[in-house]
Structure 1
């Protein structure tokens, strides 16, 4: 922070001093006022430059904040776009999954084992039949179990065939859900970037506020120096005016003195001329005075 003006260096001038100080004293005071005024004007100029520099930095920070605001808003717009696509795709996927569930329910496919599970069980049972030594009764039970599983498999396969495109619908729903997930990831990524720009915007605005406070203080210092310089200039002008008045008074005094001397010389010449008319003898000095006055 710039230091305050050292008021002890200021030059004062009272009305009494202006009216009563001698010309020499006033000339000296005028020089002091001029020098202090110039010094203060220099300080005011330096402080104005500092203020302008800080104001420029403030504008730079505000511009930086505006840039981050624009980027944030642009990213938030992209976030909303991807959100909408994600939501639309999820809604479409849900619709397809609901259609699959509805079809499965209508065909009574909700309960029971899947084709893959039944096929695996049949293979295991057949492997057991081929590799294990079983009693006639155990083997008969195993064969019956295999036949039962095969019947279940065939029955479920027929129902699935009746359902037509259940698997296609399920795969399509999965693909759409995967695409929705991609948009969701984009939402998260863009939202993070938008938040970064938001944070940078807030930081830039705060820096701008801090620098603006410094600029305001610099302006106050400038005003302080400029007002003090202006006051010294006004007093300098007052002294200059007073000096001109004194010059006029001195000139008038000189004119009055010259007029008085002429008047005295005229009166003396008339006395001499009167003596001349009365027949008195005049010396050379008296004759010269008469000639100078024009009476002779």
Structure 2
């Protein structure tokens, strides 16, 4: 089983450094200053982008491994199909071989029966008799024999010649025997050819079987690496998602602070307007009572709309 470290090393994948991850304690989110939160948002955004890039690279490598797994499975399937096709041919040739062998056996049985009927199974065959006669004649010609020995040798040669003549007569009388023997041998030869094809196809089928097993084994190995790479992708993606969620939380908190500051500014402006109005009314009262107003007071009255 492949390990995480083996996959990281084999595919030159950078290990996720958790020490570089950015934490967001609730206390910091609630009580941190706007400046601190803006800085923290930038850190979260940058780390999120790094992690998303890491997750993307790991997903790409995972997809490549899954594609290679499918290629190996397809390769194994092709070997399976070739193996099954050849095994099917093996069965066809086996059937033909067995049928032809059965037919050849029947023909050879007929040959044996015909030989038995013609008594060709007894004694020596024609070639063997010819060879014996030649040996006896050579002896007659090359050896110095007594009259008695030469007479016996001549008699033996004549007997062999007579046996050869009788054997030839029987063969001639056999009629279709030679044709039957030839047919039987041809059928047996054809059966042997089918047997040879059985052997060749069986060997090829076994080779495709072995290659199929090897392709499936390689597919399993690559699939294990793809699964481990997927785990690495999930690791990076989950870390990226957490940083994104924290980034969104900080952004939300910054918007809340912006709204709070805006309310404070509005409240401050309203208080200033109330104070200006009260001051203007006090100046206007002095104006009605006939007191002399300074230029600044007159401008305040004009600004307030009371003059």
Q: Deviations over 1:46-97 (max 9, x none)?
A: 1111111212222222222223223323333333333333223222221111
Which residue does the alignment assign to 1:87? Answer: 98
Alpha-carbon distance in structure 2 between the residues aligned to 1:52 and 1:158: 86
Structure 2 residue 71 is the aligned partner of structure 1 residue 60: yes
- Match of residue 147, structure 2, among 128, 135, 147: 135
Q: 1:17 aligns with which of 28, 47, 53?
A: 28
Write out aligned runs for 1:97-108 (5 A). Answer: 97-108=108-119
Aligned CA distance change for structure 1 residues 130 and 258 (closer, same or farther; 3 Å): closer
**Runs of 5+ in structure 2 lacking a partner?**
1-6, 9-13
Q: CA deviation at 1:221?
A: 0.7
* Equivalent position of 2:186 in the other structure: 175
Question: Structure 1 residues 76 and 282, CA, compared in 2 at 3 Å: closer, same or farther?
Answer: same
In structure 2, what is the Cα distance between the partners aligned to 1:129 and 1:287?
Answer: 173
The match for 1:274 is 285
* Structure 1 residues 127-149: Cα deviation after superposition (integer angstroms, max 9, x where no partner): 5556654435x555445544544
- Give, in whole Å, the separation in 2 of the partners of 1:78 and 1:60: 27
- Displacement of 1:200 after TM fit? 1.8
What TM-score do you get using the length of structure 1 for normalisation? 0.89
1:220 and 2:231 correspond:
yes
Residue deviations 1:6-61 (CA, integer Å, cap 9, x gap): 11100111222212111111000000000000110111111111111212222222
Runs of 5+ unmatched residues, structure 1: none
Match for residue 5 of structure 1 among 16, 26, 39: 16
2:218 and 2:29 map into 1 onto residues whose CA distance is 51
Distance 2:171 2:124 in 1: 13
CA distance in 1, matches of 2:210, 2:70: 19
> Structure 1, residues 95-127: CA drift from partner, whole Å, max 9, x if none?
111111122223333232223333433444455
How many residues in Structure 1 have an aligned counterpart in Structure 2?
295
Give the alignment partner of residue 243 of structure 2, picking from 222, 225, 232: 232
The 2-side partners of 1:287 and 1:275 are apart by: 11
Q: Secondary structure at the match of 1:111?
A: coil
Aligned mates of 1:220, 1:210 — CA distance in 2:
16
Q: Does 1:113 align with 2:121?
A: no
RMSD: 2.4
Aligned to 1:283: 294
* Match of residue 4 from structure 2: none
2:255 is equivalent to residue 255 of structure 1: no
Task: Give the alignment's TM-score, normalised by structure 2.
Answer: 0.86
